[in-house]
Amino acid sequence: MQASTAKQTWNALKVAFEIKGTNNRCRLLGKLVNLKLEQISSVQAYVTEFMTIAQSLRDTGKEGDDEMLAALMLQVLSKEYMSLKIAIQNSNIELTSDYVKTKLLQLDAEAEVKETRSSINCRT
């Protein structure tokens, strides 16, 4: 069947690429599970990619458990972030993806400030 209107074309594309399909959910879950910080250029890029995939997963119509997403985000961190993982896991704070995201970005910003100060001190 050939589409003769934009709406028909859109509906045909929607059916072909079914955003809410099981295949798409499985693909997105696989991307989340396999996403590793060391494979990405920066903490900011990692957080952005993780949250984008998580939002795409929500867009499929299956609301994910935010605590599970936060735990997954912590689980894939490298040894460099072990102290952050332990601190968060041993705290009594409600575990959310926004909380983990914020802590990662804060830690990264602090590291950049230290690196900048170190660089300036080495030049003087």
Domain definitions of the chain by residue range: 20-123
Provide the residue-wise pLDDT of the chain in tens; the chain has 124 residues: 577 899 888 877 776 666 667 778 888 889 998 998 888 888 899 999 999 999 888 888 877 789 999 999 988 888 888 998 999 989 888 999 999 999 999 988 988 887 777 667 666 5
What integer pLDDT is reported at residue 2 of this predicted model?
73
Q: pTM for this one?
A: 0.72
Instruction: Quote the CA–CA distance of 108 and 24 in Å, as a whole number.
Output: 32
Instruction: Quote the CA–CA distance of 69 and 100 in Å, as a whole number.
Output: 10
Tokens 């400030």: give the residue.
Answer: 113
What integer pLDDT is reported at residue 80 of this predicted model?
86
DSSP letters of 40-82?
Answer: SS-HHHHHHHHHHHHHHHHHTT-PPPHHHHHHHHHHT--GGGH
